[in-house]
Amino acid sequence: MTKLSVNINKVATLRNARGGNVPDVLKVAQDCERFGADGITVHPRPDERHIRKSDVYALRPLLRTEFNIEGYPSREFIDLVLKVKPHQVTLVPDSPTQLTSNAGWDTKTHQAFLSEVLEAFKQVGIRTSVFVSTDAEMIEYAAKAGADRVELYTEPYATAYPKNPEEAVAPFVEAATVARKLGLGLNAGHDLNLQNLNFFYKNIPWLDEVSIGHALISDALYLGLQRTIEEYKNCLH
């Protein structure tokens, strides 16, 4: 069964807009678990514009499902992950100023760097995932670098889906097949939503995990958090 990891960055963005602790990021994370989420994802950035380091430390002992921390592997990020020891770390090639992740790694160019970072995490028992495009070579070099999984960057799929779903998903099926042949686990994320998620899942049923934040939290404004998580889970059956 494909797991649903809820990215709670947008909850932290809302909290930070007014200061204080409303909404309570820790409570929302626990509620997501209570409502059926299989995991919680956070993406701490250097400017702490949403998730803060203090949130990451506070979440670790509270969560009962899988904890996934994603981010660019700066020295500060690596130290944070090694101290917190989440179940999974997802490496993304973001610069500190990026609004959101918008590309996969060039794993061939950065193979040596990624290999070193991935090994550090694997030595302490943290599962590793590398954010990649559908380019087969990038997936192959993620495997060579020692990744346990790759996470497919799905914004191109989401953009093309309304016009031609079959054409939109085709390169992702090919990429997923490459990953499976290489023995890599498979995650996916970015712009997946209630309209396009089920079609993606039906075409790649061996997905291990999807990580969804912006669309899910936005849907929760209308449907409520519990029903929203139930609807997303229903897309993965």
The whole-angstrom separation of Cα 175 and Cα 86 is 27
User: What's the mean pLDDT in 45-74?
Assistant: 96
The whole-angstrom separation of Cα 186 and Cα 99 is 25
- The pLDDT tens digits of the residues spanning 3-43 come to 999 999 999 999 999 999 999 999 999 999 999 999 999 99
pLDDT of residue 125: 98
Active site residue 50: no
User: What's the mean pLDDT in 81-93?
Assistant: 97
Active site residue 167: no
Give the range among 46-50, 110-114, 167-171, 187-191 with minimum mean pLDDT.
Answer: 46-50
pLDDT > 90? residue 103: no
User: What's the mean pLDDT in 132-156?
Assistant: 98
Ordered by where they begin, the domains of the chain are 3-234 (3.20.20.70)
8 Å CB contact between 83 and 97:
no
- The pLDDT tens digits of the residues spanning 170-184 come to 999 999 999 999 999
Question: What are phi and psi for residue 107, nearest 5 degrees?
Answer: -70, -20
Active site residue 70: yes
Identify the active-site residue in 43, 66, 140, 209.
43
pLDDT of residue 94: 73
Average pLDDT score, the chain: 96
Identify the active-site residue in 50, 140, 151, 190.
190
pLDDT of residue 64: 97
Identify the active-site residue in 33, 66, 70, 140.
70
The whole-angstrom separation of Cα 134 and Cα 163 is 20
